[in-house]
């Protein structure tokens, strides 16, 4: 751990360096290179080279963590608490977790002790769907003073940004020799990214140099000019990965999936350099489509090489100008782009509000198309997502299906995040709610997340898929999926279905469901505000203030936890958040370590906003 | 003493976070801190120099007239009593 900071006078950089040198705690250095040098140093400390290297590594570490990109906000603790913590470290193995120690094979699933009372990821059905939804969804209003402070802080940043823009204009900001042309940059966008986002730019787009499994390796970088430019220090940090959509842990450099993909690359090459309609169609692709259809229990499926394009390019082929689209307000950008391209009339309803959905549908049916003098729409389509990636909430599918039937609309369900992650068989939201997948007209999803691969699919009736095969731009013009990528999907899908003859897939699904519940309950116990459904593996933790996003991401990085922050352009101004994505590859020890750190820093950074009563009993894994 | 110092550090950190100061460059920090200090100084100054006078005027303004007259009569009574001795 090394960061037990009892002495308030010592600055963080110094304490970090000294703890590393003395080997307090478990004395692990954050990266493999320095780790190796440390052990060498202990074995044979007469070698001068090693000593020099050690010193160099320490300097690098100091430089890394003292540079603005990593300036940590030191954690405060009372002496008593620290002593208790130190005692705990000696006794409990769980708190002694360190990423560098845990060098197991990526994506390995640990044998689960089957407990009879363990709930799979499935709807209980004891209450009505509406009541169960409200019982299982955690939501809390923002405290008023936090809302005010968030806005004030934001205004301050904007004002300072404008002052900065007056004083320091980088060369790239002004376009030269382009008189008479339309400007290249959107004024507000470039202002925002230069003078507001730039201050915490180091928390995003961080380069990694390993498989993003349960752990990943961050490539360290520092900035000397407050985010204008970055340079690599040459060191790496091994971090616990709480930011990847690797729900079932199939993203791994070793194991069955990786081996079979490698074999496929050797036998079939890397790409066909042609579209499905021309030379890029192979038996393997056909097999994948059949497998996908079987996986979801529908008639047919079509696959594409890019998940974003599956939405953005297929929606225009399904919808036209005389169509009404009823879209959830939190839908993903790819859906919004597709809808705009299609030219259909878009009506937005409040996030997951069935009342509002019904209102919009009823108005659509009653008033018809106003551009055509109130003639009926040729098609009404409801577009929802399975798990909303920013909110962590789950669509209320049974109620949506009831409304769809009542108003004779079509239903397009984007399962990008939910496929694999939800349901006792990992078949998505329909499986979770025990709904017949044929009741959903169009099932869409990606292979990028749970399957650890790339691409997207559309599944539904044979008629629909045949229509798409002739009309979809993504099918006719885009290159077909690369063979090793297809192999990864096929292998992981078969593993989930249990067709490989092992229990691996089932164990992974169970482990994910268990991790999710445990993590969410522990977070609620800590007292932070989280959004979303208790079975959804996307866990947004609300931090509200813009400055806290940066502070939390940086502090967690120094504690070897990699998370994703989301701020203003992606969320409303007031709802800055940290998004944890759980995976079946995480073990209880890893989650315990993460939760302990979160508990500690949330005291310090003031993240415990929740006013709900907390569960005093320890949470059972 | 150590506890006090820790408390001060903690409070300053909270202040940094809620005002977004921890994201700023050093000169901006100085500017914003200076601005807040100036405001604070002005408030303290004015509350010592102007507030008492304001409060007196305000009291006179809010208080019912009878109270004022009563206090006046009391004072007059006291004065008279003093004078009679």
Query: Which one, of A568, A610, A574, A552, lies nearest residue A148 by Cα?
Result: A574
Which has the higher per-residue pLDDT, A10 or A551?
A551
pLDDT beyond 70 at A293? yes
Per-residue pLDDT tens over the stretch B48-66: 999 999 988 898 888 876 6
Q: Is the pLDDT of residue A291 over 80?
A: yes
Q: Residue B68: is its pLDDT beyond 90?
A: no
A374: distance to nearest CA of chain B, Å? 51
Query: How close A153 comes to chain B (CA, Å)?
Result: 5
Please, which residues 204-233 of chain A have a Cβ atom closer than 8 Å to chain B?
A: 226
- A162-175: average pLDDT: 82
Q: In sequence order, what DSSP letters do the residues of A249-297 get, joined into one string?
A: S---SSSHHHHHHHHHHHHH-S---SBTTTT---HHHHHHHHHHHHHHT
Task: Tell me: pLDDT of A397 over 70.
Answer: yes
Q: Are A122 and A432 in contact (CB under 8 A)?
A: yes
pLDDT score recorded for residue B60: 87
Convert the pLDDT of each residue in A400-423 to its tens digit. Answer: 999 999 999 999 999 999 999 999
Q: Which of A8, A9, A551 sits opposite B17 (nearest CB)?
A: A551
Give A199 to chain B, closest Cα distance, Å.
6
Question: Helical H runs in A528-587?
Answer: 546-558
Report the residue of chain A nearest B6, measured CA to CA: A8
Cβ–Cβ contact A156 with B under 8 A: yes
Q: What are phi and psi of B18, to 5 degrees?
A: -75, -20
Domain ranges of chain A: 12-96, 269-497
Q: Which pairing describes strands A576-581 and A538-544: parallel, antiparallel, or unpaired?
A: antiparallel
Domain map (residue ranges) of chain B:
2-84
Contact A92/B at CB under 8 A = no
What is the average pLDDT value for chain A, to the nearest integer? 84
- Residue B32: list chain A partners with CB under 8 A: 156, 160
Contact A545 B18 (CB under 8 A): yes
- Looking at residue A234, what DSSP letter applies? E
What's the pLDDT score for residue A178? 81
The dihedral over CA atoms of A571, A427, A464, A306, expressed in degrees to the nearest 10, equals 50
Q: What is the pLDDT of residues B23-48, one digit of tens each?
A: 888 999 999 999 999 999 999 999 99
pLDDT at A185: 78
Q: What is the ipTM of this complex?
A: 0.72
**CB contact B22 to A (< 8 Å):** yes
Contact B18 A76 (CB under 8 A): no
Residues A269-497, CATH architecture: 3-Layer(aba) Sandwich (3.40)
| Nearest residue, CB atoms, B6 vs list A76, A546, A550 | A76
| Least-confidence region, from A181-190, A196-205, A416-425 | A181-190
Task: Provide the pLDDT for residue A470.
Answer: 93
Least confident range from A183-192, A230-239, A511-520: namely: A183-192
Examine the pLDDT at A16 and tell me if it is beyond 60: no
Structure confidence at residue A57 (pLDDT): 75
- Is A110 a residue whose pLDDT tops 70? no
**For chain A, what percent of residues have pLDDT higher than 70?**
83
pLDDT tens figures, A53-76: 778 777 777 766 666 566 555 444
> A81: which chain B residues are within 8 Å (Cβ-Cβ)?
none
- Does the beta carbon of A152 lie under 8 angstroms from any beta carbon of chain B? yes
CB A490 within 8 Å of CB A499: no
Contact: B32, A548; criterion CB under 8 Å: no
User: Are A199 and B23 a contacting pair at CB < 8 A?
Assistant: yes
């Amino acid at each position: 751990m090394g960061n037990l900071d009892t002495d308030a006078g010592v600055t963080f950089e110094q304490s970090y360096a000294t703890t590393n040198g003395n080997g307090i705690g478990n004395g692990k250095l954050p990266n493999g290179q320095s780790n190796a040098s440390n052990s060498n140093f202990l074995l044979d400390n007469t070698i001068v080279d090693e000593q020099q290297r050690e010193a160099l590594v320490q300097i690098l570490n100091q430089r890394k963590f003292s540079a603005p990109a990593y300036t940590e906000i030191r954690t405060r603790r009372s002496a008593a608490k620290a002593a208790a913590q130190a005692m705990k470290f000696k006794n409990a193995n769980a708190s002694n977790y360190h990423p560098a120690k845990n060098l197991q094979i990526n994506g390995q699933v640990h044998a689960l002790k089957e407990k009879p009372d363990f709930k799979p990821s499935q709807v209980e059905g004891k209450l009505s769907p509406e009541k169960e939804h409200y019982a299982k969804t955690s939501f809390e209003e923002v405290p008023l003073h936090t809302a005010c402070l968030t806005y004030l802080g934001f205004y301050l940043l904007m004002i300072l940004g404008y002052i900065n823009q007056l004083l320091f204009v980088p060369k790239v900001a002004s376009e030269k020799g382009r008189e008479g042309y339309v400007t290249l940059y959107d004024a507000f966008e470039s202002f925002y990214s230069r003078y507001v986002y730039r201050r915490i730019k180091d928390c995003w787009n961080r380069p990694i140099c390993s498989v993003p499994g349960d752990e990943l390796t961050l490539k360290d970088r520092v900035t000397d000019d407050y985010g204008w430019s970055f340079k690599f220090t040459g060191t790496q940090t091994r971090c616990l990965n709480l930011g990847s959509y690797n729900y079932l842990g199939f993203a791994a450099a070793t194991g069955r999936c990786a081996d079979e993909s490698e074999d496929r690359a050797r036998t079939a090459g890397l790409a066909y350099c042609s579209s499905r309609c021309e030379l890029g169609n192979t038996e393997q692709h056909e097999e994948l489509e059949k497998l996908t259809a079987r996986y979801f229990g529908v008639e047919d499926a079509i696959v594409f090489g890019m998940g974003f394009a599956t939405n953005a390019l297929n929606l225009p082929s399904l919808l036209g100008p005389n169509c009404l689209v009823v879209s959830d307000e939190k839908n993903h950008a790819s859906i919004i782009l597709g809808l705009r391209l299609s030219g259909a009339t878009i009506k937005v309803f409040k996030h997951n509000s069935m009342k509002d959905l019904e209102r919009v549908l009823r108005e659509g049916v009653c008033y018809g198309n106003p551009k055509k003098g109130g003639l009926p729409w040729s098609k009404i389509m409801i577009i929802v997502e399975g798990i909303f990636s920013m909110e962590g909430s789950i669509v209320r599918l049974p109620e949506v299906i009831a409304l769809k039937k009542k108003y004779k609309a079509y239903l397009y369900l984007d399962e990008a995040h939910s496929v694999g992650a939800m349901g006792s068989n990992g078949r998505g939201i329909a499986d979770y709610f025990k709904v017949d997948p044929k009741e959903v007209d169009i099932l869409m999803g990606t292979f990028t997340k749970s399957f650890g691969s790339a691409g997207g699919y559309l599944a539904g009736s044979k008629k629909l898929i045949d229509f798409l095969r002739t009309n979809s731009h993504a099918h006719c013009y885009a290159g077909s999926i690369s063979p090793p990528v297809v192999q990864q999907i096929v292998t992981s899908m078969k593993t989930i279905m249990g067709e490989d003859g092992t229990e691996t897939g089932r164990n992974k699904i169970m482990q994910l469901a268990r991790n999710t519940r445990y993590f969410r309950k522990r977070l609620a116990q800590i007292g932070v505000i989280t959004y979303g459904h208790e079975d959804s593996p996307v866990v947004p933790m609300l931090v509200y203030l813009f400055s806290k996003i940066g502070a939390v991401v940086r502090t967690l990085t120094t504690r070897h936890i990699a998370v994703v922050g989301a701020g203003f352009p992606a969320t409303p101004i007031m709802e800055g958040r940290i998004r944890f994505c759980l995976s079946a590859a995480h073990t209880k020890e890893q989650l315990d370590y993460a939760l302990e750190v979160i508990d500690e820093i949330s005291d310090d950074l003031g993240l415990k906003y929740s006013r709900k009563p907390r569960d005093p009993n320890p949470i059972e894994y | 003493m150590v506890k006090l110092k820790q408390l001060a550090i903690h409070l300053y950190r909270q202040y940094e976070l809620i005002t977004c100061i921890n994201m700023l460059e050093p000169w901006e920090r100085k500017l914003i801190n200076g601005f807040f200090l100036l405001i604070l100084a002005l408030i303290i100054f004015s509350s010592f120099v102007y507030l008492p006078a304001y409060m007196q005027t305000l009291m006179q303004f809010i208080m019912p007239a009878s109270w004022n007259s009563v206090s006046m009569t009391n004072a007059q009574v006291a004065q008279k009593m003093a004078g009679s001795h």
